[in-house]
Structure 1
Amino acid sequence: MVSVATWNINSVRLRLPIVERLLQEEAPDVLCLQEIKCQEHQFPAQALADLGYTYQAIHGQKGYHGVATVSRLPMKEFSRHDWQDNGEARHVGVELTDPAHQGMVIENVYIPAGGDEPDRTINVKFGQKLDFLERMTRWADKVDRPTLIVGDFNIAPLESDVWNHKQLLKVVSHTPLEVETLQRFKDAHGWTDIGREHIRDPERYFSWWSYRAKDWKANDRGRRLDHMWASPELAKQAGRHWLREDARDWEKPSDHIPLFTEFSL
């Protein structure tokens, strides 16, 4: 078995204590972090190595964005794609190299949020988000390995992925145009949405709650922005899938929670 976790941590240095807590309590084999918000030399590599995560692939950037994948299993960096086409650190891919899991590729991605207005003619960031997804789609059409792509997609595609479908139809992250664009990416390689294989639509499934809500739990205006999607052959080996919603209540929490999937390889 190999277990993989994904978490938009929203500053790994600020929230290192809860990263350590997660690793101690859940002990996933591989942890993919987004929005680490630091350069590679600033990443708390030793602290995570001390917990057994000695294999690390870090794609950092000063103050913004950034992704990192750490593992207890032998792995090597596999790829870095500039799907943003401007040098931002939003992707790193790794390949597991130990004999038991050799060949599995894990792509860790942080898709742009897209700004506030869902109109690329007045909002450059929204256009960049759509273009990012189109570049990912062209890449997905050529994927030929057992691949898991995880991270903060910044899109909640289903009605049950948001607290109120009708109210959010014109809000970036749930607009029909974003959902259609993400669907094209899904179709390009026949990805399986692992989360929704286990937590079936229309069951509530959120991974993000805004910091603006004084009581996120009572308010419960969540969205499912974080995803774990597997290529067809790998999807058949997916077992347990779970999330830690309680992490949204930990000290100095991220506005996202971690997701997990276990695979039998």
Structure 2
Amino acid sequence: MRYEGTVYRPPSEAYSLIVQVTIGCSHNLCTFCSMYKDKKFRIRQISEIIKDLEAARAHYKSIKRVFLADGNALVLKTQDLKTILKKINELFPECERVGIYSAPKDILRKTVEELKSLNELGLGIAYLGIESGSDEILKSIRKGVTAEEMIEAGRKIVRSGISLSTTIISGLGGAERWKEHAIESARVVNAINPQYLGLLTLLLEEETELYREVQDGTFQLLSPEEIMKETHLFIQQLQVKDCILRSNHPSNYVSLQGILPQDQSKLLLRLEEALENGERYRDEFFRRL
């Protein structure tokens, strides 16, 4: 297998075969993200990708899951993705699921029928970073889409039969917009009703534009207690069905997990207890592991 630069994947793809079908991220403008700043975006040749798959088949006895990297592999033409998925089916008949990072713009460029055809060939889950449901925050972080476009993209994935795993970044609205961030993010999630919802907590990276905004005072970070209040308001506003919520990433100050709506009261109580009892929040060092 050949890899270029640092390779990122969702926590749930820890044991997957990771195959780079793109290098970097075609958008690569988000002010909070430093993941692909060292890469110039390009789509790899299909022949190279197939050689990597063949090398993996020769090396591994069993591959249960495959993850297509880098930042937004769904940017590939549908026919090219079909070629890759067919090769995975041919080489790894034991493979149970293929996952992919999906940027909202790339989803919007595809029809539901195209997405369904990818699902039929084994594309089982797509990861979508909503980040925030506020148009003002999405604009400030240079996400490149509006909240309504994010809803349209998420709904397309859900309608196609591909499972959708979404993320919201706690604290992304800063001290000025924390209520707006919580309420509007819940509104977008409610409109999409994804199968999975993950909460990350904002981590500053020195090479990002958002870091510079914090340094010059134009963006004020939330304290751990304020993050708890924002998270409580967000979860309180959720009206989803059969949605698995996870907030157990190292970046989070406290761990939360449950199925909505049945665990909603339990999750809210956990946050209330953290605030009332003076919770010892996860240390900043460990949040970066």
Taking structure 2 as the reference length, what is the TM-score of the superposition? 0.37
Structure number having the greater strand percentage: 1
Taking structure 1 as the reference length, what is the TM-score of the superposition? 0.40
Structure number having the greater helix percentage: 2
Asked which structure has the greater RCO (Cα within 8 Å, sep 6+), the reply is 1
